[in-house]
Amino acid sequence: MRITRRVSSGMMALVLGFATPVLASYEAMTVSDGGAITGTVKLDGTVPKPKGYNLTTLPDPFYCGRISDGQGWRILQPFNVGPAGEFRDVVVYVEGIDRGKPFDDAGAPQIEAKDCLFLPFTTVVRDDQSVTVVNMDPVMHDIQAYETSHLGARVLFNVPLPMNPQHPRNFKDRSEIGLYHKHMAGPPMKQLVNLSKGRRIFMMQCGFHVYMESWGLAVTNPYFAKTDEQGRFTITDVPPGTYKLSVWHPYIRTVIEQTVTVEPKGTAEAGLVVLAPTGRLYANEVLDHEYVRYSVTEDAKKEIEPMIQKQGH
């Protein structure tokens, strides 16, 4: 099997998206002799630094701050990488299949605003499919969704995310909300993802909390998978043939491809290696300097659940 890597001028993170030709249509059929593609994705090199946001300048510092590093900074690590380089939560997909197994139409993918994060960080959708976004927090969020393009971003939708009415609103002091941990779903907001011709990538961000971001990839066939904790993936019911297997992560600027051949009822193994990007990937990269603390009492800090390990930092 051959692995090819090339720099793509149309894959700049945050600004540009794939210009891959989109198939006109996809035909669902029974795949009686289909095979499988399994494998791993690894990140080779030093894991990039995370993003850092000073919460003293952003709304809801007490509630969102309880999921900070404890000293006033919110950490967002876009790269979920295991100790042996296992690249987790990246999308692996197959190009060039226009007939095969049906899409799983069990329902619209759901994204949750929880602990001032959009979860999951990456989502796979079918173009012209809806996504459902739910606010689990006791603070206001909204969703500003954009598709990426060489012409700049285009707004897909911009709607508020209402809270669950059972969340308390009568805190004597806003710092008390930092001690409140209960999650309850607000009314679900269902929005259509309808990308411009040839565009594949969209992103969502909260207009109140800039560190809340989630990325999506629109696919033209159901042959895709996200890597698990071991960086492994499996794609099933693949019609026999030779295909291009690709990896997608919103902050990888190189195209990672591998050619695989699937035999009837066989299993093709793939090992994809992503070179870790170097240099500064984003303007708000975490810096080494003194942190700014909240004006929260030491007793109150003892009650705040330490969550930094859940941020991957």
**pLDDT tens by residue, 133-153:** 999 999 999 999 888 766 677
pLDDT for 179 equals: 77
Given a contact cutoff of 8 angstroms between Cβ atoms, the answer to whether 184 and 114 are in contact is: no
pLDDT for 149 equals: 65
Q: Examine residue 203 and state whether it is found in any structural domain, yes or no.
A: yes
pLDDT for 8 equals: 31
d(CA 312, CA 55): 18
Residue 42 burial by Cβ neighbours in a 10 Å radius (0-12, 13-18, 19+):
middle
14 falls in which pLDDT band (50, 70, 90)? very low
246 falls in which pLDDT band (50, 70, 90)? very high
Q: What mean pLDDT do residues 110-117 have?
A: 92
Whether the link from the prior residue into 120 is cis, omega within 30° of 0, is: yes
CA nearest to 47, candidates 220, 284, 275, 231: 275
Average pLDDT, the chain: 82
Confidence check: pLDDT of 19 > 80: no
The structure tokens 């701050």 sit at 65
pLDDT for 11 equals: 27
Given a contact cutoff of 8 angstroms between Cβ atoms, the answer to whether 31 and 266 are in contact is: no
Q: Examine residue 148 and state whether it is found in any structural domain, yes or no.
A: yes
Q: Examine residue 278 and state whether it is found in any structural domain, yes or no.
A: no
Say how many residues make up the chain: 313
Half-sphere exposure in the Cβ direction for 77 (13 Å, CA): 18
Confidence check: pLDDT of 99 > 60: yes
d(CA 144, CA 162): 14
pLDDT for 232 equals: 98
pLDDT digits (tens, 9 = 90+) for 266-309: 999 999 999 999 988 988 888 765 555 555 566 655 555 544 44
Q: DSSP alpha helices (H): ranges in the chain?
A: 61-65, 298-303
The structure tokens 């002799």 sit at 33
CA angle 174, 75, 182 (to 5 degrees): 45
CATH number assigned to the domain comprising residue 112 = 2.60.40.420
Domain span at 191? 101-169+180-220
Q: Examine residue 149 and state whether it is found in any structural domain, yes or no.
A: yes
Long-range contacts made by residues 291-300, C-beta under 8 angstroms, separation at least 24? 291/69, 291/71, 291/72, 291/73, 292/54, 292/56, 292/71, 292/72, 293/71, 293/72, 294/55, 294/56, 294/61, 294/62, 294/65, 294/72, 294/175, 296/62, 296/175, 296/178, 300/175, 300/178, 300/179
Q: What is the DSSP letter of 159?
A: E
pLDDT digits (tens, 9 = 90+) for 115-133: 999 999 999 988 777 889 9
For 74, list phi and psi in degrees, rounded to 5.
-95, 130
Given a contact cutoff of 8 angstroms between Cβ atoms, the answer to whether 125 and 219 are in contact is: yes
Q: Examine residue 273 and state whether it is found in any structural domain, yes or no.
A: no
Q: How many structural domains comprise the chain? A: 1
pLDDT digits (tens, 9 = 90+) for 71-88: 677 888 999 999 999 999
> In percent, how much of the chain has pLDDT > 90?
48
**Angstrom distances, CA of residue 156 to CA of 91, 187, 250:** 22, 20, 18
pLDDT digits (tens, 9 = 90+) for 24-51: 588 999 999 999 999 999 999 999 999 9
Q: Examine residue 146 and state whether it is found in any structural domain, yes or no.
A: yes
192 falls in which pLDDT band (50, 70, 90)? confident
d(CA 184, CA 49): 32
pLDDT for 172 equals: 74
pLDDT for 13 equals: 31
Q: Examine residue 232 and state whether it is found in any structural domain, yes or no.
A: no
Confidence check: pLDDT of 194 > 80: no
pLDDT for 60 equals: 83
pLDDT for 88 equals: 96
Q: Examine residue 78 and state whether it is found in any structural domain, yes or no.
A: no
First to last CA, the chain: 35
